[in-house]
């Protein structure tokens, strides 16, 4: 197996190679669309199941809405339409027919042209709010708390595995409320759910914040976000939660009678996370040997590899290994015993390092004699010998420790990459030499934001929610500012 390009050599190349070699995904024959391979999909399934549990615990139900949005619906909320019009896949026909010039070819049947074009959903506010219109008459019908797991399509010109693909998988929550306060509370609650999931399940520390106007979701009044920091010093938006005000209710005429008997437009939120999180996972934890997975997300948490000469030794090891495997399984730990004879132990070690299996147990003839095993941690690459007795308890604790350690390592990196700067020169220097999040004053205008973006490629990632007020002067216009915001180059 050829080694991965190292991160230091070419981070982007390392990422692409890792995705392919660790069997997470590969390019397809369809422009910008990828195939998510079983190993990658198994990780996504774990994310999905955990998020789904959290959504249900917070009172949300799943539903399913059509993938197609009639053009007239799509147009209804103007900001939203304008934001997505440039990247829409459009269905115009509903039939193919045999090419009269070549019976082996098919052509679009010109007689099967749709009266109204259908947009493949880039996001579902339009189709969902056209439906909510029928569901909402009175405040008693509210709140509506719905989530959808679905595929969406945005025609991206430059695509990258997981981070930006024409089709991607995601969840989108769409809620309707009787009051503005309740809708804002919902957007903030779901941001907290995302942050909790990201930090405690994916071991990815995030900053919770608000987007500036220019970075807001098309059609939103406010966009909340969680921002993570990748190892190369670039930020990655890991989830967003939008307070949509009454924009979609007005576009689709969704009114209700409130408690006071007055007619009012409903208040909306939407919130989403996607397979993009796979990219965040990879670029937060992995190293030059391959994936590093927090135990919570590892399809295989423990692999047992026998070290043997000859069939007799293997049979002896098999006996013990199957016992250990059974004990670990009984603890709910997913464990694979790889006793294939066509691969050498060294090959297997490299393979499971590449795949990010958190714990490797090696078992040789001498271990059998000593009643021990060798345990290797994937995250920090340490090895130790442990008695085989009660090994299942030891491993259980080890996995919990590793989950914490992997998070702590990412947190330490992130915290050491938040730099406060007080001048534009300093800003540019830190951005060039260190990267990461840069905390600086901003004058609150789109102009300054735009100029900084054009000159440095850094954008305002967010205005942190836990900001403390602090007087300062902004980077370029030197106007007074009351708080710092977070800048970074971003994926």
Counting contacts by CB under 8 A, is residue 33 touching a copy of itself? yes
* Per rule CB under 8 A, count of chain residues that contact a copy of itself: 62
Taking residues 85 to 114 in sequence order and writing x for each that binds a copy of itself by CB under 8 A, - otherwise, the string is: xxxxxxxxxxxxxx-----xxx-x------
Return all residues near 7 (Cβ < 8 A) that are at least 6 apart: 14, 231, 232, 287, 288
Report the alpha-carbon distance of residue 19 to residue 40 in Å, rounded: 9
The closest alpha carbon to 372, from 361, 357, 380, belongs to 361
Q: How far is the CB of 402 from a copy of itself (least distance, A)?
A: 25
Residues 138-167 that bind a copy of itself (CB under 8 A): 146, 150-151, 153, 155, 167
Q: Which residues, other chains included, contact 483 with Cβ-Cβ below 8 Å and sequence gap of 6+?
A: 441, 463, 467, 468, 469, 470
Closest residue by Cα to residue 30 from 169, 159, 182: 159
Q: Taking a C-beta distance cutoff of 8 angstroms, is the pair 146, 271 a contact?
A: no
Q: Where are the alpha helices (DSSP H) in 290-390?
A: 310-330, 345-354, 365-370
CB of 145 to a copy of itself, least distance (A): 9
Supply angle C-alpha 287, 288, 289, rounded to 5.
90
DSSP 188-202: HHHHHHHHHHHHHTS
Q: Can residue 343 be called a binding residue for a copy of itself (CB under 8 A)?
A: no
| Cα–Cα distance, 120 to 71 (Å, whole number) | 10
With CB under 8 A as the contact rule, the residue among 17, 42, 422, 472 that binds a copy of itself is 42
The nearer residue to a copy of itself, 61 or 315, going by C-beta atoms, is 61
Site track for a copy of itself across 160-199, x = CB under 8 A:
-------x-x------------------------------
**Binding to a copy of itself by residue 405, rule CB under 8 A?**
no
Minimum CB separation from a copy of itself for residue 218, in Å?
A: 13
Which region among 68-76, 185-193, 387-395, 475-483 touches a copy of itself (by CB under 8 A)?
Answer: 68-76
Give the x-and-dash track for 212-251 against a copy of itself (CB under 8 A). ----------------------------------------
Contacts of 210 (CB under 8 A, 6+ apart): 222, 223, 224, 225, 462, 463, 465
- For the bound state, the minimum distance from the C-beta of residue 131 to a copy of itself, rounded and expressed in Å, comes to 5
How far apart CA 412 and CA 155 sit, in angstroms, is 37
Contact residues toward a copy of itself (CB under 8 A) are 26, 28-30, 33-38, 41-42, 45, 61-71, 73-75, 78, 81, 85-98, 104-106, 108, 117-120, 127, 130-131, 134, 146, 150-151, 153, 155, 167, 169
């Amino acid at each position: 197996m050829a080694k991965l390009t190292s991160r230091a050599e070419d981070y982007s190349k390392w990422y692409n190679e890792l995705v392919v070699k660790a069997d997470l995904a590969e390019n397809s024959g369809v422009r910008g669309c990828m195939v998510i391979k079983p190993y990658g999909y198994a990780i996504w399934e774990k994310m999905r199941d955990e998020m789904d549990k959290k959504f249900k615990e917070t009172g949300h139900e799943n539903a399913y809405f059509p993938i197609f949005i009639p053009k007239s619906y799509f147009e209804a909320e103007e900001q939203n339409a304008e934001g997505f019009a440039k990247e829409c896949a459009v269905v115009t026909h509903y039939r193919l027919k045999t090419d009269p010039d070549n019976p082996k070819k098919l052509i679009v049947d010109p007689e099967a042209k749709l009266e109204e074009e259908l947009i493949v959903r880039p996001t579902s506010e339009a189709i969902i709010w056209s439906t909510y219109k029928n569901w909402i008459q009175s405040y008693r019908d509210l709140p509506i708390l719905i989530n959808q797991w679905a595929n969406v399509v945005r025609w991206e010109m430059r695509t990258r595995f997981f981070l930006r693909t024409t089709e991607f998988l995601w969840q989108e929550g769409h809620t309707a409320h009787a009051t503005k306060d309740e809708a804002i509370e919902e957007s903030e609650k779901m941001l907290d759910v995302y942050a909790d999931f990201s930090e405690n399940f994916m071991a990815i520390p995030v900053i919770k914040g608000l987007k500036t106007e220019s970075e807001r979701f098309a059609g939103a009044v406010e966009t909340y976000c969680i921002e993570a920091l990748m190892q190369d010093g670039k930020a990655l938006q890991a989830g967003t939660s939008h307070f949509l005000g009454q924009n979609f209710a007005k576009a689709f005429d969704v009114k209700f009678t409130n408690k006071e008997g007055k007619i009012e437009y409903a208040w909306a939120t939407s919130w989403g996370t996607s397979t993009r999180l796979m990219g965040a996972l990879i670029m937060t934890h992995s190293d030059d040997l391959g994936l590093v997975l927090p135990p919570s997300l590892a399809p295989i948490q423990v692999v047992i590899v026998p070290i043997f000469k000859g069939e007799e030794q293997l049979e002896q090891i098999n006996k013990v290994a199957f016992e250990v495997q059974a004990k670990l399984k009984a603890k709910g730990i997913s464990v694979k015993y790889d006793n294939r004879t066509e691969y050498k132990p060294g090959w297997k070690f490299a393979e499971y390092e590449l795949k990010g299996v958190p714990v490797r147990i090696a078992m040789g003839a001498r271990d059998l004699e000593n009643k021990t095993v060798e345990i290797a941690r994937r995250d920090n690459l340490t090895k130790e010998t442990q008695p085989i007795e009660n090994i299942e308890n030891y491993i259980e604790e080890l996995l919990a420790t590793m989950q914490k350690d992997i998070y702590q390592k990412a947190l330490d990196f992130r915290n050491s990459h938040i730099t406060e700067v007080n001048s534009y020169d300093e800003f540019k220097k830190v951005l060039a030499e260190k990267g990461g999040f840069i905390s600086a004053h901003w004058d609150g205008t789109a102009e300054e934001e735009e100029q900084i973006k054009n000159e440095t490629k850094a954008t305002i990632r967010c205005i942190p929610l836990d900001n403390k007020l602090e007087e300062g002067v902004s980077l370029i216009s030197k106007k007074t500012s009351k708080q710092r915001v977070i800048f970074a180059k971003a994926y």
